[in-house]
Structures are given as C-alpha cells and as structure tokens.
C-alpha cells in the first residue's frame, strides 16, 4: 500500500471528520486513555474517585518498553506497582455524567454563535438563543467559543503526525496485554488494558500531510506495524473495521489568556496538546476542579476567572511544551535510539521511584478542596 495515498478527497474536512462538530447523543465514543496520579486526584476533587477507579484498569505502559522485534528495554516485574489507570473513554464519560444532576446535559445542540458584551454572553445553540452570566467553552480543539471570542488566536497547528486508535476484543490475542509501549522506525505503538477484558491501542506515526485518508484505515495501520511483535498486529486485526479511528495530531499555540469577559476556556479548547504525556484530558479535569473552586470561593466573577487563568495557563502550557518535545523525540529514529540508550542506563530502583504517584513534577499536582454544595432541589 502507498503511504500517504490520499483517497476520497471530497471527504477531507479533517475537522468534521475527526471530531464531529457536536454530539447528537451520548454513547460509546472514542477509544481509550490513561490517567496519571494528578488526574486521579482531580477526579477525587470532583467527588468521583471511587466510581472512576471502579472502571479503570492498572496499566504498565510506563514499565514495559519494547522494541519492534519484541525485545524489552525495560519490563515490569511481578508485584510492581503502577500509578496509571487506563479507561475506555465511554466509561469515564459515564462516571462524569452520572455525577451531574439529571436533565442538566443537553445533546444535539450545536453551538453556532457566541457573543460576549461584558454583562453576559449570548449563545446560539440548536437554533435557539440563550443568555448566560458565564460561558465555559469546553468544546475541544476546534472550539467554536474560542474561534468566535478569540478571533486573533492562532488556529491549531499540525504536528506532522497522525494516529490510529482502536479498542480490541482481546480473547485469544497472544502476548503481554498488561500495558506497553513499543518504539520502532519513528513509530510508537501503545497498549492499555481497559474494562471488560478489552485492550485500547494507539499507533502514532509521522505523516506528510494533514487530512490524508486511506480506503482501508485498518490495512494502512497494519501496513506499518504488521511485522511487529505479538500482540501488535493481532490487536489491530481484533478491532472491528469501523472501530479503527484515525486522528491527526495537532496542538493549540499558547493563548495569552483563557478569559474574555464572561467567557472562559477549559480543556482542549484552551490548551490542546500533543498526546505524548497522556495529559490532555488529565489537565482538562484539573482545569474543571480549579475553575469550580475559584467560582465557589471568590465572590467577584472577574476575580475568580483571573485566578483560574493565572493558576491554570502556566501549568497547562508547560505540559504542552513538554509533550511536544517528547513527541518530537519519539517521532524520529535518532530520538528513539537516544531514549532506548537512556532507558538502559537508568537503574531499576530509580526507574521504580519515577513510577511512584509523586514520581514526576506533573504527577505531583494537588487539587483544591471544593466546598460541599447542597444537592440541587
Ligand atoms: C491519540 C491521542 C491519545 C490521547 N491520549 C490521552 C491519554 O492517554 N490521557 C489523557 O489525559 N489525554 C489523552 N489525549 C488527549 C485527550 O483526548 C483530550 O485532551 C481530551 O479529550 C480533551 O477533552 P475536552 O473535553 O477538552 O475536548 P473533547 O474531548 O474534544 O470534547 C469536546 C466536546 O465538545 C463538543 N463540541 C465541539 N464543538 C461543539 C459545538 N460547536 N457545539 C456543541 N458541542 C460541541 C464535542 O462534540 C465534544 O463532545 C489523547 C489525545 C489523542 C489525540
């Protein structure tokens, strides 16, 4: 198969293709993800730690590092702890949704316009106009709130990489499925075990152009890593064709503020980052706790929003910079060789220390304590 062979150009609206514009309903979306200790603390801050842990599965992806031929650069030992939990996205969405009072979430309501006038915000959604004291734009990397109210913000930039993602039914798939990362030829294959005996996988590769589509995405993924060690090809084969997702990797150039009057950005709308530190959704959860805390404890709205901006923007943007640098390293053969050499040099004890819940500065984040709010009548 020709690499980067464009097909079906008439379908090449990468934004709509990858993200959908808005969800018609809540359902089985996306694939999987891992969450690190900082994100698990954010979930605790939101009051859903037990529920999240109940659907998360420990993953050893930071302990099992392999080469394409299957050799281990580093291997988890029996009894090793891991601070990372892997989730099927739909499971984590359900946990968050269940924590919201019934009737508060409306689907099938695309926001098409947002206007801010200092006193409040007017939002047009699903053809109806709404007036709000505050609007939180949590509408992803191609945020409508951001494009309307931050007209000078640079658009997301393509990082010359693309990813195939899937969730495989793993019964009968040979090989280690406890979580791993395999590097080869500038490509990276990640596996996490997720709920109900399934495995989430992601293949990140370099790519010449954004928006390239293949007639058969699954075959295109196999074309790159079909000769890699077990269980790499079998996981791709064990994924239903329609469940193989393709997404180009982009990041949002840093914003100078998350706040515009009575509108505020959160999550990928504010700081979409390269996935290489597995922190995009984790930082989204952190944003949510910090914003909720600022709004609950600060009587003046503008002061609360300024506090949120000052607390979140430096951290989000520093993690995004780190993720981009990590991605640039893992996306090159030379970078992968350097990582392999380094991994072999680090003594096992030091490596294990780095996998403690406070093993690196990003993971050490602690949430503020939200005041207890009486249940809505
Ligand atoms: C390959 C890959 C792997 C990743 N792995 C991890 C990981 O392991 N761990 C991690 O923490 N993060 C990971 N991430 C990052 C993570 O996916 C994002 O950071 C996270 O989904 C951002 O959440 P969000 O709610 O801000 O945006 P989104 O998840 O994009 O959600 C935005 C929502 O807004 C809706 N929307 C958009 N526009 C409109 C509109 N106009 N009107 C109404 N609704 C609208 C969309 O339908 C969607 O429901 C990964 C990303 C990629 C690409």
Structure confidence at residue 21 (pLDDT)? 46
Give 148 Cα–ligand 1 centroid separation in angstroms: 19
Domain locations in the chain as residue ranges: 9-354
Query: Which ligand 1 atom sits nearest the alpha carbon of residue 143?
Result: 38
Give 251 Cα–ligand 1 centroid separation in angstroms: 12
Query: Which ligand 1 atom sits nearest the alpha carbon of residue 268?
Result: 26
Give 313 Cα–ligand 1 centroid separation in angstroms: 18
Structure confidence at residue 10 (pLDDT)? 25
Q: Is the beta carbon of 280 within 6 A of some atom in ligand 1?
A: yes
Structure confidence at residue 174 (pLDDT)? 85
Query: Which ligand 1 atom sits nearest the alpha carbon of residue 144?
Result: 41
CB 35 within 8 A of CB 87: yes
Q: Which of 22, 31, 140, 286 to mutate to test the pocket of ligand 1 (most atoms within 8 A of CB)?
A: 140
Structure confidence at residue 256 (pLDDT)? 98
Q: Which of 250, 281, 323, 363 to mutate to test the pocket of ligand 1 (most atoms within 8 A of CB)?
A: 281
- Residue 350, class by beta-carbon neighbours within 10 Å (0-12 exposed, 13-18 middle, 19+ buried)? exposed
CA–CA gap between residue 239 and residue 233 (Å, rounded): 10
Query: Which ligand 1 atom sits nearest the alpha carbon of residue 202?
Result: 1
The model's pTM is: 0.93
Q: pLDDT per position in the chain (377 positions), as tens?
A: 333 333 332 233 333 334 444 555 554 456 999 999 999 999 999 999 999 999 999 999 999 999 999 999 999 988 888 999 999 999 999 999 999 999 999 999 999 999 999 899 999 998 899 999 999 999 999 999 999 999 999 999 999 999 999 999 898 888 889 999 999 999 999 999 999 999 999 999 999 889 999 999 999 999 999 999 999 999 999 999 999 999 999 999 999 999 999 999 999 999 999 999 999 999 999 999 999 999 999 999 999 999 999 999 999 999 999 999 999 999 999 999 999 999 999 999 999 999 999 999 999 999 999 987 666 66
Give 350 Cα–ligand 1 centroid separation in angstroms: 33
Q: Is the beta carbon of 54 within 6 A of some atom in ligand 1?
A: no
Cα separations in angstroms, 339 against 36, 207, 342:
21, 21, 5
Give 28 Cα–ligand 1 centroid separation in angstroms: 14
Q: Name 277's Cβ contacts closer than 8 Å, sequence gap at least 6.
A: 319, 322, 323, 326, 362
Residue environment code for 159-172, b if the CB has 16+ CB neighbours within 10 A, otherwise e = bebbbbbbbbebee
Structure confidence at residue 131 (pLDDT)? 97
Q: Is the beta carbon of 197 within 6 A of some atom in ligand 1?
A: no
Give 284 Cα–ligand 1 centroid separation in angstroms: 9
Give 268 Cα–ligand 1 centroid separation in angstroms: 6
Instruction: For the domain covering 9-354, report its CATH number.
Output: 3.50.50.60
CB 195 within 8 A of CB 91: yes
């Amino acid at each position: 198969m020709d690499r980067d062979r464009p097909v079906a150009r008439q379908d090449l609206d990468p934004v709509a293709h990858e993200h959908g514009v808005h969800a018609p309903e809540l359902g089985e979306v996306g694939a999987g993800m891992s969450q690190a200790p900082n994100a698990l603390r954010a979930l605790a801050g939101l009051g859903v730690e037990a529920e999240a842990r109940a659907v998360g599965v420990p993953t050893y992806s930071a302990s099992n590092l392999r080469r394409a031929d299957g050799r281990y650069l580093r291997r988890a030992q029996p009894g090793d702890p891991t601070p990372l939990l892997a989730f099927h996205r739909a499971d984590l969405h359900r946990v968050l949704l269940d924590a919201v009072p019934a009737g508060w979430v409306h689907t099938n309501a695309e926001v098409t316009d947002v206007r801010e006038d200092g006193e409040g915000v007017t939002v047009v959604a699903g053809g109806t106009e709404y007036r709000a004291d505050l609007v939180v734009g949590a509408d992803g990397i191609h945020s409508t709130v951001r494009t309307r109210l931050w007209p000078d913000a640079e658009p997301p930039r393509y990082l010359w990489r693309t990813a195939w993602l899937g969730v495989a039914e793993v019964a009968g798939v040979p090989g280690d499925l406890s979580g791993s990362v395999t590097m080869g030829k500038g490509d990276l294959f990640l596996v996490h075990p997720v709920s109900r005996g399934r495995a989430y996988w992601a293949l990140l590769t370099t790519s010449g152009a954004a928006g390239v589509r293949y007639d058969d995405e699954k075959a295109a993924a196999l074309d790159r890593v079909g000769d890699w060690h077990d269980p790499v090809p079998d996981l791709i084969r064990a994924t239903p064709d329609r469940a193989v997702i393709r997404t180009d990797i982009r990041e949002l150039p840093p914003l100078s503020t998350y706040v515009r009057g009575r509108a505020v950005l959160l999550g990928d709308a504010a700081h979409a980052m390269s996935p290489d530190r597995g922190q995009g959704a984790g930082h989204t959860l952190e944003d949510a706790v910090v914003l909720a805390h600022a709004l609950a404890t600060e009587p003046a709205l503008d002061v609360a929003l300024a506090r949120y901006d000052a607390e979140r923007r430096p951290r989000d943007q520093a993690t995004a910079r780190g993720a981009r640098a990590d991605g640039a390293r893992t996306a090159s053969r030379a970078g992968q060789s350097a990582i392999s050499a380094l991994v072999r040099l680090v003594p096992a004890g030091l490596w294990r220390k780095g996998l403690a819940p406070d093993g690196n500065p990003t993971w050490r984040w602690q949430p503020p304590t939200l005041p207890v709010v009486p249940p809505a009548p």
